[in-house]
Amino acid sequence: MGLFSFGSSLPVKKTLRLKRLKPKWWDVKIGQNLNVWFDKKNYLVNVYAIGQVGECLVAHIEDSKICNTLNKYDCYADTNVKYVDDKEIELEVHLHE
């Protein structure tokens, strides 16, 4: 690892508790896979649920290790919803080659 690597390397596996942005718009279920997209401009990860008419933003990940890893590597992101209610989503994120 280089001097300025900020601890970002593959694989990364974390479980995060995220605040839901729009609790009643999209149905999110335990065991569901959610899509993630790294927004380099705002340095956060957008989390999307797949719906009948496209995708809907349901949460943001502001975790520095996840952001640093996605910024540094072209990698895959597997997700799994572990817990969900009207206000929160507990999401397991696995970044890998």
Domain 12-96 has CATH 2.40.50: no
**Torsion angle (degrees, nearest 10) of CA 68, 46, 92, 96:** -50
Query: Residue 5 corresponds to which tokens in the numbers above?
Result: 């690597």
What are the residue ranges in the chain where pLDDT is below 50? 1-5
Using one digit for the tens of pLDDT, what is the confidence trace for 65-87?
999 999 999 899 999 999 999 89
Query: What confidence score (pLDDT) does residue 5 get?
Result: 46
CA distance 51 to 57: 10
Query: What confidence score (pLDDT) does residue 50 get?
Result: 78
Q: How many CB atoms lie within 10 A of CB 74?
A: 6
Query: What confidence score (pLDDT) does residue 24 get?
Result: 66
Length of the chain in residues, anyone? 97
